[in-house]
Chain A
Amino acid sequence: MFVTLKRIFSYARPYMAYFILTLICAVIGVSLSLTAPVFIGKAVDCCVGKGLVDFPELGKIAAELAAMVIGSGIFQWLMSLCTNKLAFLTVRDLRSDAFAKLERVPLRFIDRTTKGELTSRVINDIEIISDGLLQGFTQFFSGIITILGTLIFMMFINFKIAIVVVLLTPLSFLAASKITKATHNSYARQSQMRGEMVSFAEEMAGNQKIVKAFVYDSRAEERFEKINSEYGKIGVKATFFSSMTNPTTRFVNGLIYAAVGLMGSLGAVGSLSFVGRMTVGNLSSFLAYSNQYTKPFNEISGVFAELQNAVASAQRVFSVLDEEEVSDDSGKAVLENCSGAVTFENVFFSYDPKVRLIQDFSLDVKPGQRIAIVGPTGCGKSTIINLLLRFYDIEKGRILISGKNISDITRDSLRSSFGMVLQETWVFTGTVAENISYGRDGASMEEIIAAAKSVHAHGFIKRLPKGYDTVISEDSGLSQGQKQLICIARIMLMNPPMLILDEATSSIDLRTEHRIQRAFIKLMEGKTSFIIAHRLSTIKNSDVILVLKNGNIVEQGSHSSLMKQDGFYARLYNSQFAS
């Protein structure tokens, strides 16, 4: 826990000045505010009764009190300002770091982590750190000062009553912890019911159209109502139990107040000799202190829970920041004038050391050749692409592009010599035009439209409410096929020396695909291209077809020669048309 805390504060180091100022302001502000009851007590003692008021003294005390109050207010305000800056600037840096880290971790890490989880670390966890740790810290700090301060003042006024107060304090804690324990079970049950309700809603309301199509609504309502009413019942219980804490601690504090009042008054009367003499003013300030003294305890126990949360969140964020990064390649050569020759030399690779995948893979591609990779699911087709673009690094062997080992050139220059379209489409929140020109900043509108036209996307884009200026996103209602067309248009605009099409047309209807083929063929002219497809018809015209099975090339050749061989490829091909 302390290691984590230390690390969080290392992020706050550039803002150390704010941190120190926060502490100083907290000490001054709180101490000043704590003197108020003393002054009020003194003032009360100045007003003994009719005609007995010491006005010069009272005036002095009032002026002093006013000065203290104003001073304290100003320092509290400064403290808030400093805390704010400290918290938000630290969190900003932490978040930037976490995000930048995501751009530098190997894909292996991103592939094996749930996407929602990573987002939640960058956004929610860091938010919790901001709320819990940095803001909680000042609350915690001023709470401690208040407790210590009030304790000192109380001891100063009357040591013995102060001891009684200290002895009674655990009562409040005891009550709170008893209630927390009792609450825990019903809380767990409540969050379980809530989970059930959310997943039911996600499934049913999330597929509302199907529910309607099957006239399932009344049955769905019955099922929902069962969960809903159960949730309601358990919710009343859980909420009631948890809401007992405040009144109960308030009650305990009331008891402390009564005890102080009793002993103070008896002391003032002189009938409780061990307490010692007290003035009415003493009693009044003592009562004020005992009220203030108990308050931070509630807050601090709340802060502790938040602090634990924050530390847990911070650990999750740091575990991302501690991930290994891809090696730095800034000093390496830049791939220029890429000829398009690609060579795999005895390449070995596997995702999981226990499951061998690509073994001793060799391939020689001449510039401008069209290479198709086919094979059953899981045979390593997409893996070849992962290795080619260095999304994953090979274990043994070499991959050469244009005669250069790809591990000796910068990743950026390697990747920018490829244009890639994947089966999993990716559009980001932005206009259609922005999405198409993603690979080429500053492309003109004419070029964008030409690219869209070449992939037959112009028609549907035109029909969108704002045409090319329509803001789209992953779930903005575009069909998978339409998104894929936009991704292809992106590549059309880029005109890279080499191409990778990984199931690039899997969601597009055959007729449109057929039309796009022409554009593709034009684009591929003179370019080395790698095509992965499950519809074998689309790759018949390739120069070389690689048939992969379990990470190995089992057959290799042109379509007609492979068909003649009547082997694995021929079987695969014919099975498509068994009708």
Chain B
Amino acid sequence: MKKLLKYLKNYKKELIFGPFFKLLEAIFELIVPFVMANIIDKGIAGGDTAYILKMCGVIVILGICGLGFALTCQYLAAKCAYGFGTELRRAMYSHINSLSHSSVDKIGTASLVNRLTNDTNTVQNGVNMFIRLAVRAPFLVIGAAVMAVTIDVKLSLIFFIAAPLISAIIFVIMRKTVPMYKKTQQNLDRAALLTRENIEGTRVIRAFSRQQEEIREFGTAVDDIAESSIAVGKISAILNPAAFMIMNLGIVAIVWFGGVRIDAGNLTQGELTAFTNYMTQILLALVVLANLIVTFTKAFASANRVSEVFDLPPEENGSLSPSGSGVNIIEFRNVSFAYDGAGDSSVRGLSFELKAGEMLGIIGGTGSGKSTAAALIPCFYRATEGEVLVDGANVLDWDRDVLRSMIGFVPQKTVLFTGTVRENMRWRKADASDEEIVAALKTAQAWEFVEKMPDGLDTFIAQGGRNLSGGQKQRIAIARALVGAPKIIILDDSTSALDYATDLRLRKAINEDMEGTTVIMISQRTTSLKDADKIIVMDDGEPAGIGTHEELLLGCGVYREIYDSQMNEKEGN
């Protein structure tokens, strides 16, 4: 929480002068009843028309000055808040980029996006409102009290009873209601979740004839919302009437004791009017403050969510750069890995060596740890046990960016980005030439359709690649990883949307065009991996066998089973 304050440090000037101008405005506002008191006491009592005119002029001038001060403050507040927000977002995004995959998993990308956009906005708004309004309320309260004291010390005692009383009521009510608002919000979130899930699962719900149960469940959810809203409403409904009563009873007291003071000659009629005016001002200021507290509570909650992101430590980084000295380009030494909070390891006791230019296949069932094992190579995750070595050095010692720049990675889930094909193809290498790009597209069997598109490399890809078919997206994603001659290519089951023929051509092209490149191919098809120099068979997180296709057919039961199941279907018996 406190850590976020440092993003305000460039805006100290605004942070000081903003409230300062607000203070000036409040003072000018407070002088008005005072001037009016003088009009009554001197102007009216003395029948001095000129004085009245002059003083009303003063009120107008006070108003103009007040307006000027207020606008200055609003401007400074906006400048400070948005300056702060901009710096906060910049730092936050940069921090997000420094996080490890485990940290990203912890918060979840959807939530990260939310925190980066919505929460920073809420905090920014909180800063803005703080400068503009939060300072104004205490100023007005204190100012009005000071003015009251200068008019009549004894009578001002009423202020010192009423103001704390109102503040106490606000405090007590807020302390009770703020957690209740949270509860209401949770109930609302639950209703939203139920609605979303219901719409998504309409077919299943109807197929199971569960509509009535779902309606009933939603009914309890909305009952909860109504109940918690009404409960919180009951308490917060006390606030305004209670403050109104205390203030006006204060005025009753002022009127009565004021009468006593006037009778004794210690107070004038005009001063009494001013007194009641100040009382009203205090109340209004406090009520505004009460409403602001809701804004601040939200801002604090958001600030905490933002802080949580900053609290995640950045990914540890080594400093090693490639030496090319390793005998093996990749080596696993008894590697195990468990995701944070998972009950069981996803990869256990994996050891293998791979020489530069070799092809490694990884095969296995759903959730057998194939992708997890591959993700350890670019050090997306850190092995919980054992060592992963790339080019002879532990990946933990590598400079992360250098390590990852060596690797062309094609994730299982195809993601393309808004922009042209060319822009997408330049992800690995910012200054890749069109020749390099076309070559990569050719290898990935993507050039055949990109070429035919009306705008070729300038074809615009909509968000998420909506305007391309699954197979086209996959091939562009593969090509994207090939640009800039990576030393290692990891294909994480990334040919699933391709038909067998294209898949075959793709494998051939990678073999021919990318000579000397180490290829790691994860697949569920034995046919795709047949030519690999080494195949690892993963079964429930453990290597069930490592070897060539022929060796595994003879020596590995699991591999044999996979192979047979696939051959059976091919032969059509």
Name 21 interchain pairs, CB-CB below 8 A, sorted by A: A48-B269, A58-B255, A62-B252, A66-B252, A73-B242, A74-B241, A102-B199, A115-B196, A197-B117, A204-B417, A205-B116, A235-B78, A239-B81, A254-B60, A262-B52, A291-B280, A415-B207, A508-B366, A514-B565, A576-B499, A579-B527
Whether B215 sits at the interface, judged by CB under 8 Å, is yes
Chain B hits for A473, CB < 8 A: 197
Residues 425-456 of A contacting B (Cβ, < 8 Å) = 426, 428-429, 438-439
Say yes or no: is A578 at the interface (Cβ < 8 Å to chain B): yes
- Measured between beta carbons, the chain B residues less than 8 angstroms from A288 are 276-277, 280
Residue from B97, B128, B192, B203 in contact with A211 in the complex, judged by beta carbons closer than 8 Å: B97
Docked complex: A246-274 residues within 8 A CB-CB of B: 246-248, 250-251, 254-255, 257-259, 261-262, 265-266, 268-271
Q: A69-B249, A76-B241 are in contact. Are A213 and B378 (CB under 8 A)?
A: yes
Alpha-carbon distance A218/B404, docked complex (angstroms): 14
Question: Complex formed: what's the CA distance from A418 to B244 in Å?
Answer: 65
- Shortest Cβ distance from A460 into B: residue: B367
Known: A43-B259, A220-B97, A475-B110. A84 touches B39 (CB 8 A): no
Name the residue of chain A whose CB is nearest to the CB of B53: A262
Q: Is B135 an interface residue (CB 8 A)?
A: no
Q: Which residues of A from 531 to 579 have beta carbons under 8 Å from B?
A: 535, 537-538, 540, 559, 563, 573, 575-579
Q: In whole angstroms, what is the CA distance A59 to B238 when docked?
A: 28
Whether A255 and B63, one on each chain, are in contact in the complex, defined by CB atoms closer than 8 angstroms, is yes
Q: Are B40 and A208 in contact (CB under 8 A)?
A: no
Q: Which of B67-75, B148-156, B383-391, B444-452 contacts A (4 or more CB under 8 A)?
A: B67-75
Q: B504: CB under 8 A from chain A?
A: yes
Residue A501, interface by CB 8 Å? no
Instruction: State whether A119 touches B222 (Cβ < 8 A).
Output: no
* Identity of the chain A residue whose Cβ is nearest the Cβ of B114 in the assembled complex: A201
Residues from chain A with a CB closer than 8 A to the CB of B565 are 510-511, 514
Q: Contact: B268 with A92, CB < 8 Å?
A: no
What are the nearest 7 A-B pairs in CB distance?
A537-B569, A80-B237, A50-B265, A247-B70, A232-B86, A84-B233, A254-B63
A202/B113 contact (C-beta < 8 A), A91-B226, A250-B70, A251-B63 known = yes
> Known contacts A225-B90, A240-B74, A511-B365; is A232 also within 8 Å of B82 by CB?
yes
CA distance A473 to B189 in the complex (A): 14
Task: Tell me the residues in window 209-246 of chain A with beta carbons closer than 8 Å to chain B beta carbons.
Answer: 209-221, 224-225, 228-229, 231-233, 235-237, 239-240, 243-244, 246
Pair B59/A258 contact, Cβ less than 8 Å: yes
Do the beta carbons of A235 and B82 come within 8 Å of each other?
yes
Binds B, one of A307-315, A396-404, A463-471: A463-471
Are A509's CB and B524's CB within 8 A? Answer: yes
> Closest residue to B57 on the A side, CB-wise?
A258
Q: Spot the interface stretch: A93-101, A339-347, A348-356.
A: A93-101
- Interface residue? B361 (CB, 8 A): no
**B349 contacts the other chain (CB 8 A):** no
Which A residues are CB-close (under 8 A) to B270?
Answer: 280
Please indicate the chain A residues that have their CB under 8 angstroms from the CB of B499 in the complex.
575-576, 578
Interface residue A459 (Cβ < 8 Å from any Cβ of B): yes
- Which A residues touch B223, using CB under 8 A? 92
Which residue of the partner chain B has the closest CB to A478? B367
Return A64 CB to nearest CB of chain B, in Å.
Answer: 9
Q: Quick check: B572 and A207 within 8 Å, CB to CB? A: no
B451-507 CB contacts (< 8 Å) to partner A? 463, 480, 499-501, 503-504
Q: Which of B168-176, B338-346, B350-358, B433-441 contacts A (4 or more CB under 8 A)?
A: B338-346
Given contacts A213-B411, A416-B209, is CB(A512)–CB(B570) below 8 Å?
no
**Docked CA distance A271–B207 (Å):** 87
Q: Which of B28-47 contact A (CB under 8 A)?
A: 32, 36, 39-40, 43-44, 47
**Among B52, B60, B229, B378, which residue has its beta carbon within 8 angstroms of that of A266?**
B52
Interchain nearest-CB distance for A423 vs B (Å)? 11
Q: When the two chains form their complex, are residues B380 and A212 in contact, meaning their CB atoms are under 8 A apart?
A: yes
Q: Inside 8 A of A460's CB, which chain B residues have their CB?
A: 366-367
Does A47 reach chain B (CB closer than 8 Å)? yes
Cβ-defined contact, A284 with B203, below 8 A: no
Q: Is B240 an interface residue (CB 8 A)?
A: yes
Q: Taking the complex as formed, is B289 at the interface, i.e. its CB lies under 8 A from any CB of chain A? A: no
A61 on interface, CB distance cutoff 8 Å: yes
Given contacts A44-B269, A73-B244, A208-B112, contact A261 B252 (CB under 8 A): no
Q: Which residues of B contact A418 (CB under 8 A)?
A: 207
- Residue from B40, B223, B238, B343 whose CB has the most chain A CB atoms within 10 Å: B40
- In the complex, the answer to whether B59 meets A96 with C-beta atoms within 8 Å is no
Interface residues on B, range: 35 or more
Which A residues are CB-close (under 8 A) to B53? 262
Asked if A254 contacts B272 (CB within 8 A), the reply is no
Judged by a CB distance under 8 angstroms, whether A23 is at the interface is no
Interface membership of chain B positions 552-573, coded 1 if the CB is closer than 8 angstroms to chain A and 0 otherwise = 0000000001100110111010
What 0/1 readout, one digit per residue, does chain A (361-393) give for beta carbons within 8 Å of chain B?
000000000000000000000000000010100
Bound complex: CA of A103 vs CA of B276, how far in Å? Answer: 60
Residues of B within 8 A of A239 (CB): 77-78, 81-82, 128
Cβ of B258 under 8 Å from chain A:
yes
> In the complex, which of the residues B229, B237, B570 contacts A81, with contact meaning CB atoms closer than 8 Å?
B237
**Chain A residues positioned under 8 Å from B570 (CB to CB):** 537, 577
* Residues 273 to 308 of chain B near chain A (Cβ within 8 Å): 273, 276-277, 280
A270 x B47 contact (CB < 8 A) = yes
- Find out whether the CB atom of B500 lies under 8 angstroms from the CB atom of A49: no
CA distance A51 to B244 in the complex (A): 32
In the bound complex, do residue B200 and residue A474 qualify as a contact, i.e. CB atoms below 8 Å apart? yes
Q: Which residue of B lies closest to A252 (CB)?
A: B63
Residues of chain B contacted by A102 (CB below 8 angstroms):
195, 198-199, 202
Minimal beta-carbon separation of A387 from chain B (angstroms) = 13
Binary contact track A266-300/B, C-beta < 8 Å → 1, others 0: 10111100000000100110011001000000000
Residues of chain B contacted by A199 (CB below 8 angstroms): 418, 463
> What 0/1 readout, one digit per residue, does chain A (490-526) give for beta carbons within 8 Å of chain B?
0000000000000000011111101000000000000
Say yes or no: A391 contacts B203, CB within 8 Å.
yes
